[in-house]
Amino acid sequence: FVEFRRFKGNCTTLFLEKNIETGCGDNIALISENHSFTYFQLLELVNQAAHELTNIYGIQSGNRVLLRGYNSAAFAVYWLAIARIGAIAVATMPLLRKKELEVIAEMAAVSLMICEDELASELDSFSKNENTKLLLFNRSDFNVTLKKYNFSTNFQPFIASEELLALIGFTSGTTGKPKMTAHYHSDVAAICEGFPKYSLKPKRGEIFAGSPPLGFTFGLGGLLLFPLYYGATSLLIPKPAPEVLLQAIEEQGVTTCFTAPTAWRVMCEKAADYNIDTLKYCVSAGEALSAKVAKDWEEVTGIPILDGIGATEMLHIFIGSSHEKRKIGFTGVPIPGYEATLFDDFGNEIQEINKAGRLAVRGITGCKYLFNTEKQDAYVQNGWNFTGDIYQKDADGFFQFVARGDDMIISSGYNIAAIEVEQVLLEHELIKECAVVGKPDENRGMLVAAYVVLHESVSGNDELKIQIQNWFKEHAAPYKYPRHIEFVATLPKTETGKIQRFKLRTS
């Protein structure tokens, strides 16, 4: 770690060389669909892709490059090539739609968009109008296309003398407009030396797989950076439905699996149909893991689920569990390198046991919002990062999730800002007013519920609900759509006209 910290400028891809130097060159680094690349082959592909980006698209260190695709070897190679050049990766989730992508591309001032052909339609209209260039790839033969250029398989990675940004992650903030969080190359090394070292102790030959997209830092770390850092194997699955994941575990001999509580619950129901004997480490993050799901999974499979809380702002998991140290119903303990504590509403650190308070964390990574000093000052206070979560701590120092402190709806592992859903709904021609809240739901944790006031001339019925839902899915990422819609005559408001969401939550 200290060694990587020395390369302040760019250490993210140097661990590929480091693994090769220490005898890992012929081990499999990446597997995905029709591809399987050794560490040697991966480094060569990354170098050739770096040549493609610099020679053909003029990308230099400091440029921001948007990346859009399903989890695949191609996505991984381009992500690593961006890092190797010293450019900044703006990886996005495949489900995002045109409008959301437009906002991201503009906020991050991207010079190039690298996109999988299957997902290109959402970028069509705006890529033509801007100076932004577009590189389309096909995830099954990107390597054949790349080889045709005949670029050198060597590429000198860009090394700066100061800290260099590696990536920008987008988080859907409570204000609806996504926030840009930036992380340095040294942060990438830091997370590799954090949660995985403490909790998983990765070994060569182990195979990592899971469902979070590489455009989400949970997936980026767990499915790509952690295995590659430790000389293990990354198995990338483009459309990882729970059954697909179970089948991959059986067929490929996956040892380490990252997914969200909702998927663990579904996988639990089906696990008996598969041989998953190779599986040793099951990581859950993204939302609170219920004690029931944790218990059921362990009962069915004999393998414990290791819970961990991470955040885009912190890059990865900072409180988590290990086989040696875990308690069902608790997220875990601070990962070595981090400190965590709780504050009350008056800004005092809570000393009592089992008293809920605002979670604050500090350590080897931290929040850096770009161009948003107001949000930065709210997230980081006196050196502590406030994640917006309410937690409590027991006598053994285990942290337990209590609630989200704001209007973020966490549904099936996705963070959905209530206000963002409202803004989309308000564009529907029949909708006059609306308020969106999260409703507790057994399967999804929270459910997006919309209270809708229609224009005078229209009356609501079930057909219109479905029509609004379908319309919504065309205009924003489908996972954000309101699963519950209620037509109301008025919304509860304060005298000053502010919607009282708490009244809807309890209605």
Contacting positions for ligand 3UK (CB under 6 A)? 171, 217-218, 285-289, 307-312, 316-317, 331, 387-389, 401, 404, 410, 415
Sign of CA dihedral 483, 174, 257, 224: positive
Beta carbon nearer to ligand 3UK, 81 or 317 = 317
Q: How far is the CB of 220 from ligand 3UK (least distance, A)?
A: 8
CA dist., res. 371 & res. 464, Å (int): 40
Beta carbon nearer to ligand 3UK, 262 or 312 = 312
Q: How far is the CB of 311 from ligand 3UK (least distance, A)?
A: 4
Q: How far is the CB of 191 from ligand 3UK (least distance, A)?
A: 9
- Residue 299: strand, helix, or coil: helix
CA dist., res. 76 & res. 114, Å (int): 12
Beta carbon nearer to ligand 3UK, 215 or 231 = 215
- Residue 68: strand, helix, or coil: strand
Beta carbon nearer to ligand 3UK, 454 or 476 = 476
Beta carbon nearer to ligand 3UK, 69 or 212 = 212
CA dist., res. 316 & res. 190, Å (int): 10
Q: How far is the CB of 408 from ligand 3UK (least distance, A)?
A: 7
Residue 316 and residue 194 in contact, taking contact as beta carbons nearer than 8 Å: yes
CB atoms within 10 A of CB 350: 17
Beta carbon nearer to ligand 3UK, 50 or 266 = 266
Residue 104 and residue 66 in contact, taking contact as beta carbons nearer than 8 Å: yes
CA dist., res. 63 & res. 65, Å (int): 6
Name the β-bridge partners of 331. Answer: none
Q: How far is the CB of 65 from ligand 3UK (least distance, A)?
A: 20
Structure tokens at 142: 């990107």
Phi/psi of residue 323, each to 5°?
Answer: -60, -35
Q: How far is the CB of 287 from ligand 3UK (least distance, A)?
A: 5
Using Cβ positions, the residue closest to ligand 3UK within the complex turns out to be 310
Beta carbon nearer to ligand 3UK, 317 or 380 = 317
Q: How far is the CB of 438 from ligand 3UK (least distance, A)?
A: 12
Q: How far is the CB of 294 from ligand 3UK (least distance, A)?
A: 11
Residue 419 and residue 175 in contact, taking contact as beta carbons nearer than 8 Å: yes
Beta carbon nearer to ligand 3UK, 312 or 341 = 312
Q: Return the percent helix, strand and coil in the chain, to nearest 5.
A: 35, 25, 35
